[in-house]
Structure 1
Amino acid sequence: MATFRAEVFQNEFLPDGGTDVHAIVTVTAEGVGGAVTADGGVAEVVMIDTSGSMTGPTLEAAKHAAQVALDHIPDGTWFAIVSGSHVAQRVFPYPNARVAIVQMEPGARAEAKRAVAALKATGGTAMSTWLRLADQIFATQPAATQRHAILLTDGKNESEPREQLTAAIRDVTGRFQCDARGVGQHWQVDELREISTALLGTVELIADPADIADDFRALLAASLARGVADAQLRVWTPQGGQVLFVRQVAPTVEDLTARRTDITPLVGAYPTGAWADESRDYHVAVRVPSRTVGNEQLAARVQIAVGDEVLASGLVKAAWSDDASLTARISPEVAHYTGQAELADAIQEGLAAKAAGDEATATVKLGRAVQLAAETGNEEATSKLRRVVDIEDEEHGTVRLKRGASRLDEMALDTASTKTTRVRR
């Protein structure tokens, strides 16, 4: 049986007149077990880019990867395959089938492999149609409460306005989770990040098409390890209180603030998606009315809930003091993850400036990223930054843009920008 626990790390002391309270809440799930596919509660949809740019080895590698993925989808799992170009088409179950999704069994697996083998590359790229078709397919099986999709592309979303993709993402948000993968160097990181962030998934670069199969295998293993289909982080604040933000800060930075739904006027719920046996950290910031020195109050109650059942709870406190040695302390956990969030922003803003030809801003931002990566012990970020900038002084963030840095190195840095290191306790 799945169990959750919540731990709160903060400095609860505020100076006279202080109002803002920050805390890191670590939520840990244990005993979750894998997704139960035999009862039809799990569904997988694989979306493969079949636009003209996929012609050749990339499409062949994607087809091989999809066939490998089919071998790793357990019997009983609902599944479908979507071919995506400037339009989306269901290729399995076949377009003339009476059902949009079927349960995996040996015969279906063999037929799906034949359908994948027949894929051909043609046309443009309109990912909104892929997402909407996946949503329609999932909707035909309401009993499948755990819904996961993989989206693979090698190109830009060039056959429709960006607003059309954004609208589709908005419309399908909350209906399924989606991991997005870009192969090669001609796709846009920000496009796939918009998809994966809204749909509580991940975005990664696959530099070599030969690696697609291993990535698909790992994605399915991770998806099928999630025995809890959906959980919410609930935050209660007192009358007069205000939630400033709620962010997941480990293992990746994801801002959940705008995803709030009201349970009551004082309680908001934030989606966290499906869970395996794992631990995640959340940065919760609230504002409460100031009270006089010597007073204490509960600033927030943070809970993890599955359905209507609350499985764990942590308390965020506030205490007003005139002792500067107490009020001046910054929680190590809060400081660490504040730096990690700033690191992600600095990398993304620096790369965007570089792409726009603003080398001065790019140098400043990426220099700050180098400094933050060192301060927070994010060795992966430092390693990837070294491929884009020459570091002269890590402590002060003095860098020079590396001439001839490859597009793939920049994309690897961009996609990894939201990955964080856990705070050392």
Structure 2
Amino acid sequence: MTGTDGLRLDLTAHHSEYLPADGGVVDVVAAVRAAPGGPAPRHDGLAEVILLDCSGSMGAPQSKMRAARAATLAALEALPDGVAFAVVEGTGTARMVYPQRRRLAVADESSRAAARRAVQRLTPYGGTVIGAWLLLARDLLATRPDAIGHAILLTDGRNEGQRDVDLRAAVQACVGRFTVDCRAVGSADGAHDWDGPELLGIADALGANPVVPVEDLTGLTDEFAAVLDRALAHRAGAARLRVRVGGLARVRFVKQVYPTIVDLTDRGVPAGDLTVDYPIGAWSPTDRRDYQVALEVDPMSPRLRRRIGWLSVHTAADEDPDAVETPVTVEWSEELELVSQVHETVAHYTHQEGYAEQVRLALDAAATGRSGEAERHLGRAVAIAYAGGHDDKLRQLARVAELLDPAAGRVRLRPDADLRRWQYSVAYAPQTSSWASGDPGEADPAGRVAPEPRVEPWEHCGEPRVHPYCDECGAHHRSATGRPG
């Protein structure tokens, strides 16, 4: 699918085709890959807000504030002419650093120089009210509704100056307005004062981008540059994954499963009869994301084959009702060998979702003093990581527990592992590796979609049909085998 924004999004669906005759759940992995579909848009269609934590903790030690200023200066220098931008000082309130008035500036040689001078004067003081920072970013970006809005949020602390309910309300007020990349500053010894679940809640709601912990301050400038490069490549600001089902199926859940796990189920917006759109954020031509769509399917007679749903992707500029839909086709069966198969893409992500859930449960238990329960959940996470060959995750978990027997999941919590040492693993746990066997979802190099096979005209649901499937109920006409659906 190519929108008028010059971006092509291609979707390929992977799932096991067989399910029991008495019905069940079909898990579909929708691999979405972006590619250029036309000339790149001009930079005046982009808007960037840098939310810089300047609370007192950023001065302990002062190297955090120095690194944050240096990274911001480098990001400003890299802003191309024409990009709308602003820098916000985040403390117990949100204050404009540049420009001074509540508006967006336009990047050019003069504005970049003025912004750099303003940033160099920043010093750490005060508290942390992240909701206020986000709401100011929303208001600033609302002045450019035509632009693709993005924010970089840098913090080293938790939202101590605001009630949780108020932060959640602020985040909800920003949903759909812009996307955000969170960078969480910690110390080299692995202790972090920010709150992993808190930042994940912000990141999940505002674009589903990973939360990236930063322990080596010398790399912060490169990290800012990488985030900015990706943001400046955005061509679509509000893409949607559309799920349309027939009368035989219902949506159980929709999740993003790569590059990070985010539940999108409650964010669906009706888009027609038995059709729901799920927001999937901003896209650039090199982006790759995978989604899991679980469909509950009714019982049917064995050997019947039906289309139970259709998946498609759309951008804000693409309202074509005839956009290419990828069908989800299943066959009911009584053969145990067929119905017990799990597609390897689904297994790959289910495995990683299990790890993230166990880490979350371990933190919840540890935070309320239930050390035995925390140990059990952490042991399960270790066993999953070990089985999957995720040595990086094992190293992170070793910060809070001794890994006595990783294969068996035997661990012992470290007595000196306070909650600050859990945050890195909690933030990193939902980040997944892509299913790479054959690189699923890669489009034909020319971007072509394989046409449906031609069949002789046939009749179903009282109407003549010229395609292999009945448009009314999804029945499959098996002309190749001589067995009509």
Tell me the TM-score normalized by structure 1.
0.93
User: Helix, strand or coil: the match of 1:275?
Assistant: coil
1:320 is aligned to 332
Distance 1:79 1:380, change over 3 A: same
Structure 1 residues 210-269: Cα deviation after superposition (integer angstroms, max 9, x where no partner): 332221111101212233333111000112531101111112111111110110131111
Matched, 1:67 2:73: yes
Matched, 1:289 2:298: yes
User: Helix, strand or coil: the match of 2:160?
Assistant: coil
Structure 1 residues 69-94: Cα deviation after superposition (integer angstroms, max 9, x where no partner): 10111111000011111111112111
Q: How does 1:10-25 map to 2 (within 5 A)?
A: 10-25=15-30
User: Helix, strand or coil: the match of 2:239?
Assistant: strand
User: Helix, strand or coil: the match of 2:96?
Assistant: strand
* Structure 1 moving runs of 4+ over 4 Å: 32-35, 405-409
Structure 1 residues 255-310: Cα deviation after superposition (integer angstroms, max 9, x where no partner): 11111011013111111112221322111101122112222221221111123147
* Distance in 1 of aligned mates of 2:325 and 2:134: 35
Matched, 1:225 2:233: yes
User: Helix, strand or coil: the match of 2:384?
Assistant: helix
2:203 is aligned to 196
> Which shifted more, 120-129 or 408-417?
408-417
The alpha-carbon deviation at position 54 of structure 1 amounts to 2.1
> Which shifted more, 9-18 or 24-33?
24-33
1:378 is aligned to 390
Matched, 1:273 2:281: yes
1:51 is aligned to 55
* Distance in 2 of aligned mates of 1:225 and 1:243: 33
User: Helix, strand or coil: the match of 2:387?
Assistant: helix
Structure 2: 5+ residue stretches without partners: 1-5, 187-191, 438-485
2:441 is aligned to none
Amino acid at match of 2:368: A
Q: Pick the structure with greater CA Rg.
A: 2
* Distance in 2 of aligned mates of 1:120 and 1:35: 38
The alpha-carbon deviation at position 178 of structure 1 amounts to 0.6
User: Helix, strand or coil: the match of 2:281?
Assistant: strand
2:163 is aligned to 161
Distance 1:118 1:37, change over 3 A: farther
| Alignment RMSD (CA, Å) | 2.0
Number of aligned residue pairs: 420
Matched, 1:261 2:261: no
Amino acid at match of 1:189: G
User: Helix, strand or coil: the match of 1:179?
Assistant: strand
Distance 1:264 1:66, change over 3 A: same
Matched, 1:108 2:111: yes
Q: Is the 8 A contact 2:367 2:419 kept in 1?
A: no
Distance 1:129 1:393, change over 3 A: same
Distance 1:33 1:335, change over 3 A: same
The alpha-carbon deviation at position 394 of structure 1 amounts to 2.8
Which one of the candidate residues 168, 183, 193 is aligned to 1:186? 193
Structure 1 residues 347-405: Cα deviation after superposition (integer angstroms, max 9, x where no partner): 12212322332111111111111122233343332332233322233332222223434
User: Helix, strand or coil: the match of 1:228?
Assistant: coil
* Distance in 1 of aligned mates of 2:399 and 2:20: 44
Matched, 1:117 2:129: no
1:84 is aligned to 90
Tell me the TM-score normalized by structure 2.
0.82
Q: Is the 8 A contact 1:37 1:74 kept in 2?
A: no
Q: Is the 8 A contact 2:248 2:308 kept in 1?
A: no
* Distance in 2 of aligned mates of 1:152 and 1:37: 27
Q: Percent identity?
A: 35
1:9 is aligned to 14
